[in-house]
Structure 1
Amino acid sequence: MGLQEKLQTKLAKAFDGKLADAVSAFTGSYQGPGVWDPVEETTTAITVTYTGRGVLAKCETKRIDNINILSGDLQLIALTNEVTDRPAEGHTIAAPDLADRAKSVSYVVKGVQVDPASATYQIQLRAP
């Protein structure tokens, strides 16, 4: 078992156990490839959706620079093997509101990083 599998196994166990209260399911979406018709102002692109689960939290105060990371930005940590497509900047992610988990909020992906073992995504989210 390589490092990636070992990390993902341990984190998945934590997501199901000790972190279960903090783990949230999310849905991501983006416009797939298509052709734009400038006359009709329509496109043949369809919306591509993907799902996953992860831990959603506010960004650390020391990381907020009010240029790249704003005070309202959130960080979503998700296992790469549990997300059904690769998140990217500009995608929309619907996830529970931190204040009221029964309510869903749409966020815009501002950045995505993958850890060195390619086990997790760290996704920076911003409310539109």
Structure 2
Amino acid sequence: MWNEELTASLTEYGFKQSMNDYSLYIFSKNSIFIALLVYVDDIIITGNNISEVEKVKHFLKTKFMIKDLGELKYFLGIEVIKTKDGMCLSQRKYCLDLLNEFGMLGCKPINTPLEINTVLASEATEHD
């Protein structure tokens, strides 16, 4: 039900739901572009106009009990790092957590598990 209400509210505002990814909503008017991504009860909002993004947040607050968590730092195991050139998306923490979970945190890294240019071939077996 919540998703239906959210979709109806976003459509009312002028967003269009992506037909390729139903969790993505796009608002595009004149030179303003806003993308809104929903995962369960988390929402990421970004766009090329900060004041318009703020208007969307205010609109959502009038419709739903939401809390603005500020700038995005983590989402679905992806770390978001702001740089002078833009953003860097990294799964370093997620990978370290996996290595730790399986007791492999102290393992030595290797560039490739096989020698470069190794050719793998299967030997055909005869069936009677």
TM-score, normalised with respect to structure 1: 0.21
The structure with more helix, counted as a fraction of residues: 2
TM-score, normalised with respect to structure 2: 0.21
The structure with more strand, counted as a fraction of residues: 1
Q: Return the index of the structure with the highest Cα Rg.
A: 2
